[in-house]
Amino acid sequence: MPLRLMCVTAHPDDECFAFGGALALAAARGVETSVICLTDGQAATHRGEAKTPAELGAMRRREFVASCELLGVTSHELLDYQDAQLEHAEFATIVGQLVERIRAWRPDVVLTFGGDGALNTHPDHTMVSFFTTAAFHWAGRAKRYSEQLSRGLKLHQPRRLYFLTTDFFLPGRPPLLPAPYSVKLDISNVLDTKLAAFRLHTSQAPLVETTKIAFEKNGKTEHYVLAAASDPQAVAVTTDLFDGLNNTSEQ
């Protein structure tokens, strides 16, 4: 089976704004990709032509699908949690849903945000980091969500967990404490695709415009930190999320 990458996000547009380069590069090399997004972004500041939260959520769901398709994402799913309220959500429930998806889809590599909340220090991003970290570790443990195993799912331990990090800051945003990166990903060949996917989020057009200069200056790389791995190893700076992994995953 091909290598598989799963990306867990909080809002529609995270998949391109934050992880678009990694997803497009993976698709180009034949890696199967999955994006799990927890909310439909109804609490966004920018609301396009939507007159109600429900209209905005429906619009952003469509934008999410279009963006994933442009990025070459193999499988995508948007869940029903409340935007801007993930810190109050039931931790064990969300982790269980992510464990179930990891066990079913069986990724080799998992990407998500770091605890810093990313460039806009969003608390939802921080919470997604915590949920995904727990799911990464618990998907391979028989004592966690054992009822899933009785339904036919099998344990699965992904081989690497990466957090998104950064080597620059957005002007006018609160300061963050980014993790030192261990992967410097050259996305120059897919930057146009990443930005085109971002523009498909038409409800967020003002955000696209306000971040344009920052992406023009810093957008040719994405940075990740290796947060966990299935084998003990020293951390060195690489240019490949799949460095050293086999060409085919162990399904």
The count of other CB atoms within 10 Å of the CB of residue 137 is 16
Top-level class of domain 4-229: alpha beta
CA dist 215 and 118 (Å) reads 15
Question: pLDDT (tens digit, 9 = 90+) per residue, 3-59?
Answer: 999 999 999 999 999 999 999 999 999 999 999 999 999 999 899 889 999 999 999
State how far Cα 157 lies from the chain centre: 18
Is pTM beyond 0.85? Reply is yes
CA dist 237 and 174 (Å) reads 27
Confidence (pLDDT) at 249: 47
Map out the domains of the chain as residue ranges: 4-229
Does 74 score more than 90 pLDDT?
A: yes
